[in-house]
Amino acid sequence: MADGKNGMNMVARRSTRVFENDIDVRQIEDSVPDAGVCYIRKGDEKSQERDSTRLTEMLVHTRTSSMSSLAAPVDGEIITTFQRVSRSDSEEVFKGEVVENPKMYGRPRNFGTILPGIYRSGYPEAEDYGFLRDLSLRTIVTLVDKDYPEGYQTFMQSSGINHVVIKMEGTKKVEIPQPVMNSILEVVMDRQNHPLLLHCNQGRHRTGCAVAVIRKVLGWSVESTVSEYTSYAHPKVRQVDVNYIRQFEIASLVGIIDPKTTRTASFSKPRPISRSHKTFRFAVFTIFIFVLCTLTVFRYRIA
Residues labelled catalytic: 200
User: Going by C-beta distance under 8 Å and a sequence separation of 6 or more, which residues neighbour residue 13?
Assistant: 26, 27, 28, 29, 39
Q: What is d(CA 244, CA 212) in angstroms, rounded to the nearest whole number?
A: 9
Query: In whole angstroms, what is the distance from residue 39 CA to residue 192 CA?
Result: 17
Judge contact between 120 and 140, C-beta under 8 A: no
Residue 156's Cβ-count burial label (10 Å; 0-12, 13-18, 19+) is buried
Residues 6+ apart with CB under 8 A from 222: 216, 245, 246
Interatomic CA distance for residues 187 and 183, integer angstroms: 7
Kindly report the CA angle at 83 between 90 and 246, in degrees rounded to 5?
35
| Burial (CB count within 10 angstroms: exposed 0-12, middle 13-18, buried 19+), residue 158 | middle
